[in-house]
Each structure stands twice: as C-alpha cells, then as structure tokens.
C-alpha cells in the first residue's frame, strides 16, 4: 500500500518533496500565523497516483489504502461496520441510509484513525514521546494507541472535559495535563511544549498525517458499497479535520480513477460551535476571521473557537458541491436516543449530531427522498453518560414483585 508522495501547502500552493518536507505546517505561511486562530499552511499529502495504479487494482482497494510506507501499531483500527438502517431510513424517507459505526474503534472514536497513522509516523521518525491537545477523544485515542505501541503520550486537555474521557486517559497511563482553559488554550500550549520538550505533535491538522489517517473511512465506505457511493455524506464538524479527511479519501479514489465523483459532503455543526458552516454561508476567505467567541455545546467533541482546519474543510465542502447545517443542542440530545434506540449503536452527542443534521437536511429539502446518504457515527455514548442521561429518562426503582412490575407496564 505504500506510495511515493509529496506535500502541498493548502494556503500558498507550494510543493515539498517527501525527503525535504516540514514536519507540520508550511514554514512560509505559518510565519503569518496568529495564536488561537485557524491554521495557515496546512499540508496536503499527494501521492504518485499513476505509479500506484501500475501495481494496485480497484478490487483490493479496501485492504490497500494508499499511504506512505509505515509500520502500524498493534491495535486494530478502522474496518468498522457500515450498516444500512431500515428503521432510521424510514423515519426520514430517503432511498438509502448507511451508518458508519465508529463507536467500535479500539478507544471508542473516529480519532483512532488519525492516531494510528501518527503513531506509526512517530515510530518511523524515531520519536518515543508524542503530545496532543484535544477536546477528549483525540487524547484518549492517542493515549490508547501509544500504550499499545509502548510509547509515552503527553496530553493537554481541558480540565472540564467529560470525566469518562479523563479517566480513560489516566488508565492508559498518559502523562495528563488537565488545563485550566479551553481546547484552544490547550492547542497553543501543546505547540509551545512540542518545541520546548522535543516531542512529536499529533495536533489535528497541524500534523498533516491526522488528515491522511482520517481519510480511511472514505475508502472503506467506497469499498463496502462496491464503489456505488451515497449522494451525500454527513460529517459532524468541529475543527474540520474529519470532513477534510473524508474528502481526501474520496479525492485519492478519484485520482486513481476508481470513482467518478466525490459525494456531496455535509458539515453538521452545533449552533454553539458553528464557525465553519457560517464561514461557508458568508463565503469567508480570510482564515483569521473564521472564529466563534466562547464556543459551547453539549457535543463537547465539536466545541472549538477557531476551527484549525477551516481552510481545507471549506475547500472540501465547495469542491464536493456540499453544504453546511446547524443543529441545536436540543436536537443533538434528542438524536442520541433516536439513533441508539433505532440501531443499537449507542452514540455520544458529537455522533448524534450527524443524525440531527440529516433530519434537518430532509426537512429543508437539501436531500430528497430519491437520494442516498451515509452518516458518520463518530464516538460511543459510553464516553458521555451525562449527556445521554439528558436524552433519556431513567425510571424510578421498582419493588421486587410482579404487581409492581405489572403497574409499570400499565
């Protein structure tokens, strides 16, 4: 699956050969970078697709995703199920609906796809210490995959992250910094620490391999549907890296001539953290203006003031003829119970955001009854029991006799 590649700066368009590439972002564009803003100079990995085609065939695409040469860590990441849900499909009356179930990734979220490749890259480059800033899922993902590979992780996460995510991190043996500050603060601090302590940095988008790792779900969806792609793919969006990764996966397949068209990508954001969707609506071109003051939502995984990968996310939406949608926290919470009780897939708020999004798309005519769609269920509900509790009502304790049981049924 390994292929020759080069990087291209998404901001200025400059190419960097693999053997002389910057570790993270474009050195020229990042000169203009302001702290706490969306990233300038994110790098995109472009392969020698013509060469790859000589030795690979479409039929094997599922097991031969195009990557640089690396050795992956031991935990099994990806190859998650793609379910066709009759129950949910009927609720919104569309032709076909597929669910990409990322709740069964080894640490319980989509983020494992990025951590997997980043840890492989760290090993290749000779690092034995990796850091990242995260809203929680990327952190536990990095910590878990580092644990499996015997590598140290240094994690910057808001001290207010859901308890389950912090405890999971600690159990993985991560060196944990619960920061008195939000995700954006953690992001900046981790960049400083990277420089100061010489760690490898997994920050989303800042490290270009996060995008390459996240592209794998697009390859899987294509293969699982025998290349008969859905019309639209709904992606819960915070920093904009998953949607950029999904675009990149389909882009690869398009370059290889294995698909004819990239599905319309749909960025779904909570109304309290909607910077990318708003920037798309306003056709915002200046990255530093893509910003949300005091972002907040029940979907904690999606809460960012400055979406780090805004530029690439916006390009992905435009190039795929996609669009953005904003949903409320109430809709997200309601969607937790709808998805879980209709599919058996217990989802966290960020994941149910995708279902809230497609409902809204159907109501507003953005997708028709004749169309097909896939939604990404990006993380397990077990990570955020407090939110799931808002979506449900735990019944009162029942006395241990049949009469008491019968009265509950009445």
Residues 343-382 that bind a second copy (CB under 8 A): 343-346, 380-382
Q: Does position 389 bind a second copy by CB under 8 A?
A: yes
Give strand ranges (E) for 23-110.
43-47, 82-84, 96-101
As a whole number of angstroms, the distance between CA 373 and CA 358 comes to 8
Give the interface segment with a second copy, choosing from 57-65, 144-152, 218-226, 306-314 (CB under 8 A): 144-152
Min dist CB 390 to a second copy, Å, is: 10
As a whole number of angstroms, the distance between CA 38 and CA 97 comes to 33
Closer CB to a second copy, residue 82 or residue 254?
82
Q: How many chain residues interact with a second copy (CB under 8 A)?
A: 79
Min dist CB 83 to a second copy, Å, is: 6
What would the two tokens of residue 234 be? 């709904």
As a whole number of angstroms, the distance between CA 337 and CA 349 comes to 10
Closer CB to a second copy, residue 43 or residue 388?
388
Min dist CB 288 to a second copy, Å, is: 21
Q: Does position 18 bind a second copy by CB under 8 A?
A: no
Q: Does position 318 bind a second copy by CB under 8 A?
A: no
**DSSP element (H, E) containing 317:** helix 310-319
Min dist CB 147 to a second copy, Å, is: 4
Distance of CA 39 to the CA centre of its chain: 17
Residue 260, SS3 per DSSP: coil
Single residue of 232, 273, 320, 340 touching a second copy by CB under 8 A: 340
Single residue of 164, 205, 242, 358 touching a second copy by CB under 8 A: 164
- Helix ranges (H only) for 172-274 are 183-197, 209-214, 216-224, 241-255
Which residues make Cβ contacts (< 8 Å) with residue 209, sequence separation at least 6? 45, 114, 117, 118, 121
Single residue of 2, 60, 63, 192 touching a second copy by CB under 8 A: 192
Residue 8, SS3 per DSSP: strand
Residue 129, SS3 per DSSP: strand
Q: Does position 171 bind a second copy by CB under 8 A?
A: yes
Q: Does position 92 bind a second copy by CB under 8 A?
A: no
Q: Does position 337 bind a second copy by CB under 8 A?
A: yes
Min dist CB 104 to a second copy, Å, is: 5
CB 131 within 8 Å of CB 165: no
What would the two tokens of residue 352 be? 């149910």
Tokens 């920037």 locate to: 279
Min dist CB 75 to a second copy, Å, is: 5
As a whole number of angstroms, the distance between CA 389 and CA 382 comes to 11
Q: Please, which of residues 197-226 interact with a second copy by CB under 8 A? A: 197
Beta bridge partners of 177: 156
Q: Does position 178 bind a second copy by CB under 8 A?
A: yes
Single residue of 3, 45, 138, 176 touching a second copy by CB under 8 A: 176
Beta bridge partners of 129: 152
Min dist CB 280 to a second copy, Å, is: 31
Single residue of 9, 10, 123, 146 touching a second copy by CB under 8 A: 146
CB 382 within 8 Å of CB 164: yes
Q: Does position 96 bind a second copy by CB under 8 A?
A: no
What would the two tokens of residue 198 be? 């010489």
Min dist CB 266 to a second copy, Å, is: 24
Q: Does position 71 bind a second copy by CB under 8 A?
A: no
As a whole number of angstroms, the distance between CA 146 and CA 152 comes to 6
Give the interface segment with a second copy, choosing from 36-44, 62-70, 71-79, 308-316 (CB under 8 A): 71-79
Single residue of 3, 40, 66, 147 touching a second copy by CB under 8 A: 147
């Amino acid at each position: 699956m390994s292929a020759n590649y080069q990087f291209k700066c998404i901001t200025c368009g400059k190419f960097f050969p693999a053997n002389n590439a910057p570790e993270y972002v474009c050195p020229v564009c990042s000169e203009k970078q302001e702290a706490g803003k969306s990233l300038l100079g994110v790098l995109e990995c472009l392969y020698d697709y013509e060469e790859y085609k000589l030795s690979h065939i479409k039929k094997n695409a599922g097991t031969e995703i195009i990557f640089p040469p690396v050795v992956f860590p031991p935990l099994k990441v990806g190859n998650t199920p793609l379910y066709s849900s009759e129950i949910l499909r009927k609720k919104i009356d569309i032709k076909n609906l597929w669910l990409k179930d990322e709740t069964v990734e080894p640490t319980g979220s989509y983020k494992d796809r990025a951590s997997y490749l980043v840890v492989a890259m760290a090993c290749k480059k000779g690092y034995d210490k990796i850091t990242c800033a995260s809203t929680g899922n990327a952190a536990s993902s990095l910590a878990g995959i580092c644990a499996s590979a015997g590598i140290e992780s240094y994690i910057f996460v808001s001290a207010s992250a859901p308890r389950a995510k912090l405890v999971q991190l600690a159990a993985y043996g991560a060196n944990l910094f619960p920061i008195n500050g939000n995700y954006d603060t953690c992001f900046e601090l981790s960049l400083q620490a990277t420089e100061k302590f010489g760690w490898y940095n997994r920050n989303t988008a800042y490290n270009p391999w996060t995008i390459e790792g996240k592209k794998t779900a697009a390859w899987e969806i294509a293969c699982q549907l025998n290349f008969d792609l859905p019309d639209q793919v709904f992606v819960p969006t915070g920093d904009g890296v998953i949607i950029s990764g999904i675009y990149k996966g389909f882009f690869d397949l398009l370059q290889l001539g294995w698909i004819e068209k990239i599905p319309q990508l749909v960025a779904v954001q909570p109304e309290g953290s909607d910077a990318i969707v708003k920037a798309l609506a306003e056709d915002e071109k200046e990255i530093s203006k893509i910003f949300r003051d005091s972002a907040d939502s029940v979907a904690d995984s999606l809460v960012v003031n400055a979406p780090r990968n805004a530029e690439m996310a916006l390009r992905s939406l435009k190039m795929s003829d996609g669009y953005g949608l904003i949903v409320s926290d109430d809709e997200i919470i309601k969607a937790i119970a709808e998805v879980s009780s209709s599919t058996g897939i217990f989802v966290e708020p960020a994941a149910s955001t995708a279902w809230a999004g497609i409902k809204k798309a159907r109501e507003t005519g953005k997708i028709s009854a004749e169309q097909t769609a896939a939604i990404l269920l990006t993380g397990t509900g077990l990570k955020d029991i407090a939110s799931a509790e808002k979506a449900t009502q735990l019944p009162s304790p029942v006395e241990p006799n049949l009469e008491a049981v019968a009265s509950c049924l009445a």
